[in-house]
Structure formats: C-alpha cells, structure tokens
Amino acid sequence: MGSFAGLFSAQAIADEVKKQGKKCILLWLCGAPSQFETWDPKPGTETAGPFAAIPTAMPGVHVSELMPQCASILDKLAIIRSMKTEPSEHFQGIDVLTRGDAPRPPFTRPILGSVVAQQLGQLDSPVPQFVLLDPCPEGNEFKAFKGGNWAGWLGAEYGPVRAGGEYSIPNILRPESIDEADHADREALRRFLSRKFENDQSSAAAAGYNAAFARVKGLMSCAPLFDIERLPADDRYRYGPGAFAQHALLARHLIENGSTFVMVANGMPWDNHVFQHEMHQMLVPELDNVIYQLVNDLSERGMLDDTLVIAMGEFGRTPWLNDARGRDHYAKAWSLAMAGGGIRGGVVHGATDERGFDVTTDPVDNRELFATIFTTLGIDPAAEYDLGDLPTFHRVEGDAKPISTLLNAG
Amino acid sequence: MPSPSRSVSSLILRLAVLVAVTTVSLACGRQAAATEGSPQTTAVQPSDNRGTPPASNAELAAAIDRLLEEGWAAADVQAADAISDEVFLRRVFLDLAGRIPSTAEREDFLSDSREDRRLLLIDRLLASDDYAKRMADLFDVLLMGRGSGRTMRERHEHGWRQWLQTQFHDNRPWNQMAEAMLLARPATAADNAATWFLYERNNDHQQIAEAVAPAFFGFRIECAQCHDSMTAAEVEQAHYWGLVAFFNRGKNEMTDQGPRIVESAVGGFSEFADIEGTSSPNLLKFLDVDVVDEARPAADEEQQESDELYQAAFRDGEPRQPVFSRRERFVEDVLRDHPRLAQAMANRLWAVLMGRGLVHPYDEMDSAHTIEHPEILQLLTDDFRQHGYDIRRTLRAIASSQAYQRSSRKPAGVDDPATFAWYLERPLTAEQFTSSLRVALYGAGEMPRDLTSAVRQAMPDVLPDESVTTIAEPLFLSNGPDLQALLQEVSEGDHPLAAMAALPSTHEAATALFLATLCRMPTAEEVEAVATFLSQSPQSAEISSNDAPLVAKQRLVHAAWAIVTSAEFRFNH
C-alpha cells in the first residue's frame, strides 16, 4: 500500500499519465441549474431575478454576479448559451444528456463516461478509469437512474466505480482475518468456477458479475487514492467545505493519477422549484469556486489542454417563476460551460432572445454536444457500434457535427 | 445542501416526435416513452371478463404455452430447450421457497419417478412455510420498499412482517389483503398489523398515494403531481390529487390496540394548479371511476367539527370514525373489483416467476408501455378474478408451464427478453441469498449470525428491471466481515460444512460442497480443481498436529467462499 502512494506521486508517472491521452471531468449538476443565475443573465428584464450581471475577462460578455471567479477566467471557458434539447423531465433528461441520445429499447446506450473510459482508458491499469463521485444516495429520479445500467452494451466492465458518502469506497480493504495469499487464492478458484459457468451458459448476467469481480484487486490497490484525508489541507480549503467541492478536488486527484473520466455529482440539489433564488444563492457560488479552482489547478499543472471539464445539468429552468418562487424545468433554451481538453476558451456560442425564452442563434442539441465532446477528446463521433446482428448504432446518431467554433484548430 | 427536489416538474415543450397516439413523448417513469423505432404502443386496457378462462391448472398452463408459441412462430423465434429435473429443482425452490434445496430434498426429488413429480413439487413448495416467508420477503419490499435497519425492526415489532407471512401462508385472497391494508380498520386482531402499510408513511399523504398506485393498480403516478401524464393520457393530475384526497384526512395514532390511522370528518380540501396555472379542486377522483360525491365548502367557509359527523367505532376501543369516510369510499367504490387490481397482480406474479412483467417494468402499466402477449395477461387476469384472487393458483399455473421450465441459455438470434423464449436469469434477492447460504452450509434453523441486513445493503434489488452488478457487491463479498465470519463459524460444530471436513478425501469433500451449494454433481474437471485447492497447504490456518483433519478446514472455508460467490450460486437460472 505504502509503495503505491509513493509510486503515484512520482513526477515520472504523472508525466506518463499526461502523455497517455485525454481525460474528462464531468461536473454533473443534477436537477438542472438555472441559466439565468449562471451563464446567461438577462439584466433588466422581468425574467432576470434579483441578481445582477457582471463583466468578465471577455469584453462584452456578462455572467451572473454569483459567478465572479469564473468571470475572471472566462478566457479559459467556453459557454454554450443555446442548448435546445427535448426531454424536460429529469429521468429522460438525465438519460439523454449523459448518454447522448434517447433510448431505443431494449438496447441501452452507454453513458459518456463508459464510452470515454473504453476509448481512452488504460484497461490494464489498476486505477479505475471511470469513477462516479456522488456522496448523496438520494435524489428521486437520479437515484433511480443510478440504479440502472450505465455501461449499456459496452458491458459492465466499463461501468463506473462509485465512491462518495464518507469519501471512501466501502469494503475496499482486505479484512485482517484473511491473509493476502489466501485472499488471492480463493479468488482464483472463484474466478475459475464462475467463468466456467459464464461460458457454459453464455450468461450475460454472469459476465457482468465476473467483470465486476475482476476489478476488485486493482481497486483495492488504489484505496489510498480515494482517501481524501491524504490530500493537502490547503487544497481542501481552497475548494471549500461542501461535498461537491471536495469531490471535485478528488476528481482532479484521480485524473492526475490515471483515471480517465470522473463524474462528480451530488444528488439533485439544483431542482429548485421552490425558492429558486435563495437556493441558487447557495449553490452557484460553490460551483463558481469549484470551476475556478479546477480550471486553474489543471492549467498550473499543464493538464488543462488534455483534460476536458464540463459543467452541465439535464436542462435549464423557466424564464418565469412559479407560485413558489421557483423556476421549473426548461429544455428549450439553456446553458452549459466547458473548459480545456481542446475546447477553445473565451468563446460564447449561441444566444437566446432578450428574455431567454428561446434560442435565437446556433441552437445546439444533445447530439451536436456529444459530437463536440467526442471530437475534442479524439474519439470519432461517427463510429458505428459493432453489435453483431443488432440494428446499427452510431456513437452519435444522425450524423451530427461538432461545433467548430468551440474546437481548437489542430 | 437542502434541496426541495421532490419530483415537481413542468413541461413547456411540445415535441415533434412522430408517434401516432401522443404528440409529446416525455414520461417521468424509468422507461422512456415510445419513440421512433420502438414497438407500437398498445394501451393497457383492463377489460371485464371476456370469454371463459380454462378452469384447470393444466389447461391454464397449456394456454400460456400455446399463446407464447404462437408468438414465437410468428416471429420465427426458436425457444430454448426444456430443462432437466436437476435444474428445475433448484430454480423452483428459489422462486417459490426462496432458497436452494438441501441435499436430502435433492435426492428425494431425483429419485421420484412419478410422471407429475414437478407439479407435486410445486404444490409441496406452495404449501410450505418457506413459501410464506419468501412471499413476505418479496412483498415487504414491493409494497414498502427497502428500509433502514430501524424501519425493518419496526416492521417486525409492529407485526407487519408477520402479518404478511400469515396472509401468504393462508393464501388470503389478494383483494382482501388490499382492502385490509387500505381501510386499515382491523375487524379482528389478526389484521391488526395491516394498518402498517399506511402508518409507516407517517401522515405523508402524497407518499401514500404514490405507494397505492403501483402497489394495487400497477402504475406509477409521481409525475402526475404537476401535470397530466405526458405519455399516458389516462393518468391525470386530478387522479394524483384525488388519490391523495382519499387518504388526506388520516392521522397516525398509536393506540392501545396498536397503530391506527384516525380519520377526520372535515378538512382535506384544496386546489391543485396545473402548469398553465389553472386551479382545480381536489375531487375524490381516481382513474375511470365516477367521482365520489362529497359536499364541498365554499372557499371562504370553514368546516366545523361536530360529533354528529362521527359514528361509534366499528369495534370497542377503536377510534371513532366519520360517518362519511373517504378511505372507506376509496376501498368500496374504487378499489373493490377494479379490473386493474387483478391485472396488476397477475402481471407482477408473472414477473416474479418469469423475471420480467408482461408489461415491463411491472409497475408501469400505463398506456405508454406495451403489453407483450396481451392475451396471456388477459387470461391470467380473468382467471385470477374469477377464482377469488387466488395467488397460489396463478403461481402454480405459471410454474407448471413449459415456458417456466426452459433453459436459461439464450437461444442464438433472439435478443428480446419480452419473447420469454428462455428463462431470464436473475440475481437472488438478499433473502434468497442468505437463506440459501443457510441451507448449504449451516443446516436447519436460524443461523447464529444474521447476515440479512448486511446482505440487504449490498444486494438491495428485488425484481430489478435488469441485472447489473456494481463493484460494491464483489467488494462486499470479498472484504466485508460478515460473510467471512459466517463461513468461519459454520466450519465448526455440527454443520454441513464441518461434516465435509471429516470426509476421507478431498475429492469427496469437493463433491459434497458442490452438491450442497450448487445442487448438482460437479464435472470431473470441477472436482479436480476444488480437490487440488483443498489439498494445498493452508497459508494462514493453525492446525494442531495431534488431530489434523483430512481436509484442512481453512481451505474448505475458502473453497466454500469461492463457490457461494460464483455466478452460479448468485443467480437463479
């Protein structure tokens, strides 16, 4: 164990990790944040809400006053203000914005993290390639969604390792009552018997089960990586005390040490149908700081060019308020932000009308978004999934094209 | 971070999805609505009894098979092979008795040469205490959800768990169980704990409504809190608030007789607003049933409490009850004989044995979800109603069909599980897993160490939509202290595992271990692998040199671990 930590702190390894290709951190803002209190403020209109808009590092571009730190580094961020998607219910929205497309039952499209881990990940690495950090087991639809099949037709080995809660992974350490040799020995027998059953039965359930077991040993060797107490106190202070912030820091740490895709979630805090302004006044400043710290840290470490950071939810919020002073679901015109990983900074793509009711220029749907994400990570969006005699699936359907203004030339 | 993230939702979009029946294709459910490329939507329309269902078990089972086979022929599907007695034995024990068979039960069955031995076994299992426990385990989760340790303890303490078990033991008609739970006025002490269905929801009337709809009517209603369902036109916002209103005069009270839900005769009037802001009164309305009439006070009028509005309790010592009882009206006017009550249960019982509902998921039986093999659902529904909501009868017919007795090996070229052309493998529930461990390694009676609550956390699913193993489960099995400690304990004393250690050779011990855990004879290759494992010198066990056993006990513990954590043990197949 001790040697592991030493190994992974070595600069040589970090350099190697950097060379291995692109990475991605998805700040999953589940519940759906308001574009008006973040990236697309509408000062002076009846939809604006109580918060002002402030200037940013990009002349002429304003964001909500709740995001002063992001405003100062807007030259490193790209904002899409013209997201226009279909589902405006959480479950379907989460499905489409994490998988890239609506389902085609009975086939389950793999989630973004599974695709990226499969395409860019180091499968022989003990470090989990796709990690979900989510301390909150609750959250209605997201809870139901988490119980579903994330890796889809790629197979369970591309599913996420889930950590969170106490910032750790339960049962990650070998019990003292059994020594290392016996632990490995009995696992070898288990594997032999279980794989035999899988093969004899052509069992898909057993295949997924065995794939999960195959990751145990590597994951156990990574236990120190998930120990947030080992991270520098200064870093923990900078990111802030909240679970979301601490997990964002842990995401950085995991990416630095060989993970390929880390998704940071926190239940569904953004679904503010009630007291939207008060809730966002608590949530947005934390997000503002997290994005700021993350982008700066990656930049300072020379990792921003290879690490894509995405901050988005499953849709936006209504321009108007409901009777409970909340904003309801709105998928017709909303915003998200990206940085790094080959995405051009300082770009604001698309626009909405003066009250934010609809997109006026360059609408972006989920397919174009995913084509952009895949392209900037060096993954072919047009690739076909080879599923034997099943219907043809593409990584991104409909021949959707990436948004060229967001992509760095070359 | 506080979050008012109840599933409030509002829908602004109208989508250009080309589906004939609906112009908007968004659902709140787990399953997406029909879109291009998905099968034609068929409305779930419970009918009154059409035709006369077959009367005998054999005819019912044969009708299931005939209807499935017609579908396969039309779709050019080659179904999986029939299974052997040995495979059937383990499968049906797990599904009906909630555990694997013991080696003695295995020998009994395999030496039975009677023609109808499978049906006889089904009947024996359906009549067993294990069946009652299995069904209580299952329905506890289906009706109440998995709870925290404290919640589970309360269910025991207040008799809920035992009540369920008694109902299944006595094969109480499902409609009577439903009425006992929802009226919650126990006519006899035997129904005392039926009140827990409502009581545990702790005066949260929306939670009650959201539980009643799937539990007894087979569909989820959460989305209709804010708007009429976008995918299933028959699920209206008025039904959500109507269902809430039927229960919203109830208030929990712990009486000397036990938990009760005291009902008020006044109050419970409110308006609900749709997404356009139009308000409507929360009338006593649910589904296609006529609105239950009730005098409604004017907006500015306050209802006065008065003794005249109440009548004496139905039984001495019980709380008084209103002359006009909304709950009673719900039970008598809505629930009683509602066709969905039988249909939802028929679909769920099919899912229990066949691994998936005829409407899938089994608790989303709305018009946005296709009925596969609608004639089978009709047949089972009609039969269930006509035969007094007899749960055992329905399970017996399905379990004795050829469809249930097919191999779990998916035939080549068939991908759609809704064909039911093969037995859908499924993970054991936490309760099946621990009960099977007990049978295999401990023997009869309660184990000294109760793994159930730890295993429930690691394996919470019951009737999952699909089988997905997360990394948490192998970590629990590999490193959790509970399983290891249990194996260690049962290797001592008078238990099957301890007895295996006393066998004269590692080969015999290996064979015995297979029979006890996987309920089958191992292949030569498997015996060799386990025997070799057993004969290797133990790495960590201390063996006293005086009476060193022939089979090192510690190695046997590890081998037992390897088998009970293998996929073959973990799944029913």
Cα B51 → chain centroid: 30
Q: Which two tokens stand for residue A5?
A: 């930590």
pLDDT at B128: 97
Output the pLDDT for position B437.
Answer: 94
CB–CB contacts below 8 A, A to B: 259
Q: Which residues are CB-neighbours of B394 under 8 A, at least 6 positions away?
A: B345, B346, B349, B380, B383, B384
Q: What average pLDDT does chain B have?
A: 87
Residue A368 structural domain: 2-168+227-406
β-bridge partners, B263:
B250
B470–chain A Cβ distance below 8 A for any pair:
yes
How much of chain A, in percent, has pLDDT values that exceed 70?
Answer: 91
**Side-chain-facing half-sphere of B396: CA atoms under 13 Å:** 21
* Range of lowest pLDDT (A347-361, B307-321, B535-549): B535-549
Contact between B142 and B177 (Cβ < 8 Å): no
Cα dihedral A323, A326, A328, A331, rounded to 10, equals 140
CA A168 – CA A133 distance, rounded (Å): 9
Q: How far apart are CA A237 and CA A241, in angstroms?
A: 7
What is the per-residue pLDDT for A103?
A: 82
Using 50, 70 and 90 to split pLDDT, how confident is the model at A45? very high
> Picking from A32-41, B92-101, B223-232, which range would have the lowest pLDDT averaged per residue?
B223-232
Q: Mark yes or no for CB contact A331/B13 under 8 Å.
A: yes
Q: In this structure, are residues B365 and B359 in contact, taking their beta carbons and an 8 Å threshold?
A: yes
A333 → chain B, closest CA residue: B13
Average pLDDT over residues B553-570: 96
Q: Which residues of chain A make contact with B558, given a CB cutoff of 8 A?
A: 182, 185-186, 189
pLDDT at residue B303, as a whole number:
85
Q: Return the minimum-mean-pLDDT range out of A7-21, A132-146, B22-36, B427-441.
A: B22-36
Question: 10 Å Cβ neighbour count for B502?
Answer: 11
**CB–CB of B466 and A330 under 8 A?**
no
Band (pLDDT 50/70/90 cuts) for residue B20 is very low
Chain A residues within 8 A of B465 when measuring between CB atoms: 148
Q: Residue B450: its pLDDT value, please?
A: 79
- A138-177: buried (b, 16+ CB within 10 Å) or exposed (e) per residue? ebbbbebbbbbbbbbbbebbbbbbbbbeebebbbbebeee
Residue of A nearest to B408 (CA): A201
Residue A216's closest chain B neighbor by CA? B475
Spatial contact of A294 and A9, defined as CB atoms under 8 Å apart: no
Q: Which residues of A touch B37 (CB under 8 A)?
A: 104, 391
Mean pLDDT computed over B54-73: 93
Question: Measured between CA atoms, how close is A147 to chain B, in angstroms?
Answer: 8
B528 contact residues in A (CB cutoff 8 A): none
Q: Is the pLDDT of residue B180 over 50?
A: yes
Q: Over B283-316, what HEC string results?
A: CEEECCEEEECCCCCCCCCCCCCCHHHEECCCCC
Predicted complex ipTM: 0.87
Where residue A60 falls (left for φ over 0; alpha for ψ -120 to 50; beta otherwise) is: left
Residue closest to B128 by CA, chosen among B156, B102, B157 = B102
- If pLDDT is split at 50, 70 and 90, which confidence band does B278 have? confident
Interface of B with A in 392-421 (CB under 8 A): 408-410, 413, 415-418
Domain ranges of chain B: 180-335, 427-572
CB contact under 8 A, B566 and A242: no
C-beta atoms surrounding A110 within 10 Å? 24
Choose the closest CB to B26 out of A92, A170, A242.
A92
Average pLDDT over residues B305-323: 91
Range of weakest confidence among A61-65, B105-109, B232-236: B232-236
pLDDT digits (tens, 9 = 90+) for A230-250: 899 999 999 999 999 999 999
Please determine, for residue B33, whether its predicted confidence score (pLDDT) is greater than 50: no
Q: Measure the CA–CA gap between B512 and B460, rounded to whole angstroms.
A: 30
Residues in B closer than 8 angstroms to A202, CB to CB, are: 409-410
Residues B135 and B160 sit within 8 Å (Cβ to Cβ): no
Residue contact B484–A178, C-beta within 8 A: yes
Cβ contact, residue pair A202, B561, below 8 Å = no
Percent of chain B with pLDDT over 70: 88
CB–CB of A268 and B3 under 8 A? yes
- Average pLDDT score over residue span B399-407: 98
Kindly determine whether residue A326 and residue B31, on different chains, have CB atoms separated by under 8 Å: no
Q: What is the pLDDT of residues A53-111, one digit of tens each?
A: 999 999 999 999 999 999 999 999 999 999 999 999 898 999 999 999 998 766 789 99
Cα A278 to chain centroid, rounded: 25
Of B1, B409, B418, the CB nearest to A201: B409
Contacts of A280 in chain B (CB under 8 A): none
Interatomic CA distance for residues B408 and A242, integer angstroms: 47
Chain B window 1-20: which residues touch A at a Cβ cutoff of 8 Å? 1-13, 15, 17
In the prediction, which pLDDT does A139 show? 67
Radius of gyration of chain A (CA): 21
- Inter-chain residue contact A190 with B410, CB threshold 8 Å: no
Task: Provide the pLDDT confidence category of residue A309 given band limits of 50, 70 and 90.
Answer: very high
Q: With an 8 Å Cβ cutoff, is B543 touching chain A? A: no
Q: Taking a C-beta distance cutoff of 8 angstroms, is the pair A319, A355 a contact?
A: yes
Decide if A209 is inside a domain: no
Among all residues of chain A, which has the CA nearest to that of B418?
A: A106
Closest Cα of chain B to A219: distance in Å? Answer: 9
- Which residues on neighbouring strands pair with residue A349, listed in sequence order? A80
Contact with chain A for residue B456, Cβ under 8 A: no
Q: For residue A271, list chain B residues with Cβ-Cβ distance below 8 A.
A: 3-5, 8
Chain segment B438-472, per-residue pLDDT in tens: 999 988 777 777 788 889 988 888 998 877 787 88
Reported as type and span, the H/E element at residue B322 is: strand B321-322
Residue A39 has pLDDT above 80, yes or no: yes
Which of A50-59, A346-355, B268-277, B526-535 bottoms out in mean pLDDT, i.e. has the lowest? B268-277
Are B11 and A177 within 8 A, CB to CB? no
**Among A303-312, B184-193, B325-334, B445-454, whose mean pLDDT is lowest?**
B445-454
Chain B residues inside the 8 Å CB shell of A32: none
Q: What per-residue confidence (pLDDT) applies to B40?
A: 38
Closest residue of B to A357, CA-based? B12
Confidence of residue B492 (pLDDT cuts 50, 70, 90): confident
Confidence of residue B225 (pLDDT cuts 50, 70, 90): confident
Contact B540 A194 (CB under 8 A): no
Cis bond upstream, residue A55 (ω within 30): no
Among candidate residues A115, A127, A110, A126, the one with its CA nearest the CA of residue A259: A127
Backbone dihedral angles phi then psi of residue B255, each to the nearest 5 degrees: -105, 175
> Is there a domain that residue A201 lies in?
no
Please give the structure tokens belonging to residue A208: 């997924």
Helix axes B524-535, A180-201, angle to 10 degrees: 180
- Say if the Cβ atoms of A272 and B4 lie within 8 Å: yes
- The answer to whether the CB of A330 falls within 8 A of the CB of A320 is no
Q: Is B11 close to A173, i.e. CB distance below 8 A?
A: no
Interface mutation vs chain A, best among B469, B518, B556, B561, most A CBs within 10 Å: B469
CB atoms within 10 A of CB A2: 7
Task: Return the SS3 of A63.
Answer: strand
Higher-pLDDT residue of B276, B477: B477
Closest CA to A9 of A196, A215, A211, A224: A224
Residues A109 and A153 sit within 8 Å (Cβ to Cβ): yes
Residue type, B455: V
Distance from CA of B133 to the nearest CA of A (A): 26
Digit-coded pLDDT (tens) for A311-328: 999 999 999 999 889 999
Helix (H, G, I), strand (E, B), or coil: what is residue A247? helix
SS3 assignment, position B556:
helix
Subunit contact A189:B470, Cβ cutoff 8 A: no
The pLDDT value given to residue B381: 97
Question: What does the alpha-carbon distance between residue B82 and residue B75 come to, in Å, rounded to a whole number?
Answer: 20
CB-CB under 8 Å, A140 with B6 = yes
Q: Which of residues 123-142 of B touch A (CB under 8 A)?
A: none
Residue labelled with tokens 């998995």: B146
- Verify whether the Cβ–Cβ distance B529 to A89 is below 8 Å: no
Q: Specify the pLDDT at position B23.
A: 24
| pLDDT of A140 over the 90 cut | no
The pair of structure tokens assigned to B419 is 């064909």
Q: How many residues does chain A have?
A: 410
Is B37 in Cβ contact with A331 (below 8 Å)? no
What are the chain B neighbours of A220 within 8 Å (beta carbons)? 479
Tell me, what CATH number does A130's domain have? 3.40.720.10
pLDDT tens sequence across A154-205: 887 788 888 876 657 889 899 988 999 999 999 999 999 999 999 999 998 9
Of the candidates B542, B527, B540, B535, the one whose C-alpha atom is nearest the C-alpha of residue B556 is B535
> What are A264-276's pLDDT values in tens digits?
998 889 999 999 9
User: What is the DSSP code string of B409-449?
Assistant: SPPTT---GGG--S---EEPPHHHHHHHHIIIII-SS--SS
Task: Determine which of A88, A193, A246, A359 to mutate to test the interface with B (most B C-beta atoms within 10 Å).
Answer: A193
Per-residue confidence band for A388, with pLDDT thresholds at 50, 70 and 90 = low
* pLDDT of B41: 37
Report the number of distinct structural domains present in chain A. Answer: 1
Q: What angle do CA B115, B116, B121 make, to 5 degrees?
A: 135
Task: Quote the pLDDT of residue A6.
Answer: 35
Cβ neighbours of residue A370 closer than 8 Å, sequence gap 6 or more:
A100, A101, A112, A381, A395, A396, A400
Cross-chain residue pair B468–A208, CB shorter than 8 Å: yes
Nearest to A111 by CA among A56, A153, A79, A167: A153
Instruction: Say whether B12 and A329 touch across the interface (CB within 8 A).
Output: yes
